[in-house]
């Protein structure tokens, strides 16, 4: 049995990564890279479950790689590649389509959200998206999966699929049951305009999010205009929880300043939100502006980014093929 810890995570190439992706995923990826073997995959096949403009998709994959590098992922330590380059993902996804149950998929809340009111018109790919995600993880027999809280249900499905495969083919412990690594506070960085919605690249107003490529001036303006509260900053979490926009700003501040919510409230209670916003903007500019500049710099040399993907693909493919050989054998495929 393979007891070695192995991290796998996937990021959709949406382009325009924002503070939510940075605090909820990328920063965590970088710290995991120091402790364990890690595989970070740009999941282009997941992206096309909803229509993508081909040129934009190509650019977005490269921009996601640039964002990985700019935040500190090191391609000689971690494997960085794009999903479609390793065909084992789709092969295993097919096998897992036959393990996973329709009833399991029909409970996935993200499908319900994404498909909207007319489910008949959603792509079949969108429906079986979680099986592909299970394939991503199990193809490498990954043990730990850093994801946002919104992916918890998909990860539980991956565990169910792994367990059913191990049972059906009578190979206990063949697939390790992957464990989610969900960051505590930061798993939900909310929109700067509506504290009940996640920060998202699809929200119409650009003022709802801090993009990694925003200039210092844009960061400053967005934080200044962010919704907060007309009362002063309270001294306890309970009062704050009733004010989602204010809580969100304090949450972001505590993450960026590496402090706890309690400590931030101790420091700030009784002050106006304008005071918090000035300090927050300063910290964000210090941390995000250099990342954005680096992303832009990296994007100038596309062939460099492509060569990183190619090397990553070669490394990933070796592990994938080795595991697939055993998987095919278990299933009885010649
Ligand atoms: N579904 C994930 C998301 O939207 C992305 C993803 C695809 C993923 N495959 C994965 C995450 C495997 C972790 C592991 O965020």
280-305 residue pLDDT tens: 999 999 999 999 999 999 999 999 99
Range(s) within the chain of domains with CATH label 3.40.50.620: 6-187+302-331
- Angstrom distance (rounded) from CA 30 to CA 72: 6
69: nearest Cα among 34, 36, 26:
26
Dmax (CA) for the chain in angstroms is 71
- Cα(9) to centroid of ligand 1, in Å? 6
Q: What is the per-residue pLDDT for 185?
A: 64
**Beta pairing, strands 6-11 & 37-42:** parallel
Q: What is the per-residue pLDDT for 75?
A: 98
146: nearest Cα among 244, 65, 32:
32
Burial-class residue 223 by CB neighbours within 10 Å (0-12, 13-18, 19+).
buried
Q: What is the per-residue pLDDT for 14?
A: 87
- Angstrom distance (rounded) from CA 93 to CA 10: 15
The superfamily CATH assigns to domain 6-187+302-331 is HUPs (3.40.50.620)
Q: What is the per-residue pLDDT for 186?
A: 58
* Nearest CA, atom 15, ligand 1: 11
Q: What is the per-residue pLDDT for 15?
A: 81
**Beta pairing, strands 6-11 & 79-82:** unpaired
* Nearest CA, atom 11, ligand 1: 10
- Cα(60) to centroid of ligand 1, in Å? 16
- Angstrom distance (rounded) from CA 12 to CA 43: 5
Residue 215 corresponds to which tokens in the numbers above? 């200039």
Q: What is the per-residue pLDDT for 3?
A: 63
Q: What is the per-residue pLDDT for 127?
A: 97
Is the alpha carbon torsion for 193, 199, 202, 208 positive or negative?
positive
Q: Which residues are catalytic?
A: 114, 198, 201
Does ligand 1 come within 6 angstroms of the Cβ of 10?
A: yes
- Cα(231) to centroid of ligand 1, in Å? 39
DSSP state at residue 38: E
Range(s) within the chain of domains with CATH label 1.10.240.10: 206-296
Q: What is the per-residue pLDDT for 1?
A: 45
Q: Which atom of ligand 1 is nearest to the CA of 132?
A: 9
- Angstrom distance (rounded) from CA 49 to CA 92: 17
- Cα(73) to centroid of ligand 1, in Å? 17
In tens, the pLDDT along 5-41 reads: 999 999 999 888 999 999 989 999 999 999 999 999 9
Class of the domain covering 206-296: mainly alpha
Given ligand 1 and candidates 12, 44, 146, which is best to mutate, with the most ligand atoms within 8 Å of its CB?
Answer: 12
Does ligand 1 come within 6 angstroms of the Cβ of 240?
A: no
Q: Are 125 and 48 in contact (CB under 8 A)?
A: yes
Does ligand 1 come within 6 angstroms of the Cβ of 147?
A: yes
Give me the residues of the chain with pLDDT under 70, please.
1-3, 185-187
- Angstrom distance (rounded) from CA 90 to CA 330: 18
């Amino acid at each position: 049995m393979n007891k070695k810890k192995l991290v796998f995570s996937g990021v959709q190439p949406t382009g325009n990564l924002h503070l939510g992706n940075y605090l909820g995923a990328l920063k965590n990826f970088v710290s995991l890279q120091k402790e364990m073997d890690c595989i970070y995959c740009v999941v282009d096949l997941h992206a096309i479950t909803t229509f993508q403009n081909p040129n934009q998709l190509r650019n977005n994959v490269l921009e996601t790689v640039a964002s990985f590098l700019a935040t500190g992922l090191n391609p000689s330590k971690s494997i960085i590649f794009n999903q479609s380059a390793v065909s084992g993902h789709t092969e295993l996804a097919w096998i897992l389509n036959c393990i996973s149950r329709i009833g399991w998929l029909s409970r996935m809340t993200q499908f319900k959200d994404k498909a909207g009111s007319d489910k008949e018109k959603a792509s079949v790919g969108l429906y079986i998206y979680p099986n592909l995600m299970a394939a991503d993880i199990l193809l490498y027999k990954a043990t730990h999966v850093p994801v946002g809280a919104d992916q918890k249900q998909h990860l539980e499905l991956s565990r169910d699929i792994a367990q059913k495969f191990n049972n059906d083919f009578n190979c206990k412990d063949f697939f390790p049951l992957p464990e989610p690594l969900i960051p505590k506070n930061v798993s939900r960085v909310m929109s700067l305009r509506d504290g009940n919605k996640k920060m998202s690249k699809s929200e119409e107003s650009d003022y709802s999010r801090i993009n990694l490529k925003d200039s210092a001036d844009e960061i400053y303006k967005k934080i200044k205009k962010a919704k907060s509260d007309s009362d002063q900053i309270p001294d306890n979490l309970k009062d704050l929880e009733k004010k989602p926009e204010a809580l969100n700003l304090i949450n972001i501040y505590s993450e960026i300043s590496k402090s706890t919510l309690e400590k931030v409230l101790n420091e700030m209670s009784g002050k106006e939100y304008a005071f918090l916003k000035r300090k927050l903007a300063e910290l964000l500019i210090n941390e995000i502006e250099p990342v954005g500049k680096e992303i832009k710099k990296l994007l100038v040399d596309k062939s460099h980014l492509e060569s990183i993907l190619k090397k990553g693909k070669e490394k990933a493919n070796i592990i994938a093929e080795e595991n697939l050989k055993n998987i095919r054998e278990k299933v009885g495929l010649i």
